Structure 1
Amino acid sequence: MNEKRSEQSGAARTGVRARGGSLAPGSVVGDGRYRLLAQFGIDERAGAHLWRARDGQLRRDVALTLLVGDPADAESARMARRTLERAAHAAKFSHDGVARVLDVLSLGSGITSSEGLLGVVVTEWTKGTDLIDLVAEHPVAPLTAARMVQKLAEAVEQAHHSGLVLGLDHPQRLRMTSDGALRLAFPGPLPDATLRDDVKAIGAVLYLLLTGRWALPGGPAAIPAAPHAPNGRLVPPRTLVPSVPQELSSLAVRTIEDGGHGGIRTSAAILQALGQAAAVEERTQLMKAQAAAGVKAEEDDGTVWTTKKPIKDKARRRKLALGVTVLVVAAVGILAWLGMLAISFFQNDPTSGGPPINVAQPTTSAQAPPPSTQAAPPPSTQTGQAQIGAAVAPSSASVYNPDGDGDNTSRAKNTVDGDPGTTWRTDQYNQQFPTIKQGVGIVASFDNPINLAKVTIAANSPGTVVELRAADSKNPNLSSTRVLGTATLNGQSTDITLPQPTQGQYFIIWITQLSKTGGKYQSQIGELTFLPAQ
């Protein structure tokens, strides 16, 4: 997946250079105001390059839709002007499902022809995860997908009532926010986009969440295209993923395909159909949960049921009779022995009662042993070296990035979920730290302070250099944190053992150097294990 994204980004940058531009992390656009940080995709249909950037004047992250082209090409310039006009109109639109347009730059008004750009749409940055990462491991659960798309459809319905086309028919223009909602993060509709295109895009997004495939033309190379039957019809999601409910599968196809009976052509119609399909799926899940709970209750009521008849086996019956006889004889012998002990206990013979005991004087057996015979303390106590205790799980983990909004913030929890197979990874960079920023990391928070002695990092990112830092809060200034140890990741697991245990409630795994693969820089962490001193 990362290789495909790298190839795509490389192709995008090559296209920019061919037109005279030079877009790469660290370069600036818009009269030097916006410094490019990381590219998040490219919509080839419009030459729109999607970037996260840093606003040098307001010191905040923003999203840039860069329209790349040759100013001498009259048709390209006309199309870019149309896109910028539509984006400017969208600046008046306000909805949680659409990033707010902050500025629109055009030739002679914020950008120059030497930049190789025809225009720039500046919007607020949307924290979260892009759709490629969201479906990279597995499709989204049907009910969750329906709810996510329902929120996006509400934004489309409100925009269409205002006469606006949003232009969300490309998956890399969308991001999932930290609260699980879909949002148009890179507005800038194509010059000829229509209201119908927005509706079809909603169906395509639903199809993508359910199957991991994109059903409209012009999608990114990182996402497989949806298959079609020999008759040219779109293969329903349920055919690819049998767990998809029939209602949602049919809804996705009816929304995307043109013509035929039962097609969905308006945002209001798809919003109503989504609500009904989500309600049906929710009831289905509820009934399954209740049925599972009933089966569980029956299994746990203590009743033993059997439909087998007793086996008539003479040999087994003889063995059973012999075993019972042995048990009876053993029981009689034990009872006889206990009776003899009782008789002996109540005899008056003084010799049978043991030696006389003077209750006024303690026996020597009760006296404390001399110092020389006392047990020696454990070796760790004698040497002063702390022993490692059992691992303590943090209450939460989040991305720590004092230079911006963080990388893949929604996946930070994967580093402390107990499963090394689920990972968090940084953004992909074209230059090594600290060219773009000082670094990035994960801050682990504990409900109560622990006496940390060792951290184990499960990661497959050789060459990554990390620092273990202690902090006094969840979002501290980097200068206020303390370095406890450093390590270079190598192999599947790397340990950072502290010379002396450190008491603290917040610890940061701070990446100062990224792993390099194929000319790109990116690191990932599978699991963080925190081991306190005993």
Structure 2
Amino acid sequence: MTQVGEGQDADETTPPLMTFGAPTAGEVLAERYELVEHINNDSAGRLVWRGVDVVLRRPVAVVLRYPGGDSATEMLQAAVAASRVIHPNLVGVYDAIDEADRAYVVREWVDGQSLRELVSDGPLDAARATAVGNAVASALAAVHATGMVHGNVHPGTVMISDDGRVVLADARTDGADSQDSDVRAVGGILYFGMTGYWPHAEVPLRGAQAGHGRAAIPDAVRDADGGLAAPRQVRAGVPAYLDDLTMDLVDATIAPPPSDVLAAELARLDVPAEDEYLDSSGPLRFAAETGEEPSPLAAAGGRKVALGVAGLLAVALVGLLVGITTLGGDDPGPQANPVAAPSSAAPGGEDTPAAPVVRNLKIADARIIDPDSRDRAEVRDADKVHDGDQDEGWSTQTYRGAGNFGNYKRGMGVWIDLGAEHTVKSVQVNLTDRGASAELLHGTIDAPSSNAGDDQILTAYQKSRIGQPFEDHDGTTMTFNGFDADKKYRYLLFWLTELPPTDGGFKIGVQEITVQGS
């Protein structure tokens, strides 16, 4: 959750309250910053408060950690470094104080929401995603010009104010990041903006906007070998040039361009709507004229994405010739962009149908399958695996052994009913811990929720596995992609066979299951 609501002025007649440790509403820090409302706790254990600077009478955000001292050194150092860089796309840092019992950073309050929250209502169109990426790249260029690294670029730290301003917040400096990793994260921002999925699965979400506990951003769709699906494979309407740029930025095998070069390239694509070089009603907007120098990304040595100005204009002109229509809303249909989903005439005169749009499918029902249970105590809370809240889910009990649930059960699983037959692209399962073994099965029968009914489902479904099973999986996300494009699916079974070790035994929790298809 990001900052919401309006700031308020402090009551000057209220005396300051000086306490230490856990903060309380109404308390005044450093005789200046009144705490008004607790907003959230981030994944690093810091508390985010909405506050008021009672001296300048302006709203502020207070990021607080207790105790202070050594445990807060990194937070304070990052804040001091960030305060030296002034840029319209960076959140302003006003103060950084260590009181030993606690430490806190006071920064600009932004009325609005994070990119993460914005995209939860649906992916952005290409133009808006480009504008957000341009703002982030510009902010990073200012940071990198000083020799520093931001180190915390993700959809939770990219904030969009109510007036449309895009700002980057909550830098960190733990030495594990580089300017290159900052630039790659811009590719992640573009990817997330257009698809709603985060391509950097290995990068944990941190910072004051990261959210609570396990509420991680869904990992991107991947094939059986872990290969990343391109944005155009996830949804229609993504222009080829932006798809290529995004994929090259997130590709760890390709050296990224400097942040100022990337900012210049994105600025060239993100031009005002009244730009005279291309009709503003189209989704492709470029600022270049014929005869300009090649794209700075091309000069920097990028591969297919480093398009020169002439190439970009060629794409724009083709779009105009075929009649680019307005890219409406955040979820364009398959015909919204001729670059992504063309309709071409077949030899017989008929139009070739556009590819179906891949989307999250609604799970109509879910049930815990436990054929070897004695008391059916673990079949509750199945609805929590598809409620959209990754802070809650279903969990097994604690067992004494890993394999076959301590040799007590063949396994347990989550049965899913999509409500009707669908073409399925992938199934993503978010778990609480690493080290589990599981597989995805499918079938055509339903049965009552009982030991006998569960056994009937397991017996029937075991003949039909989707893709390859995961053995002692080293991550907390399992993605199954081996679906037959010519088949329709309604009933799926996520089947656990081995539990990871936890304190005092072996157990696992399933926080959320996401099914993508059409």
Query: Does the TM-score normalized on the shorter chain lie above 0.5?
Result: no
Q: Which has the higher helix share?
A: 1
Which protein shows a greater Rg?
1
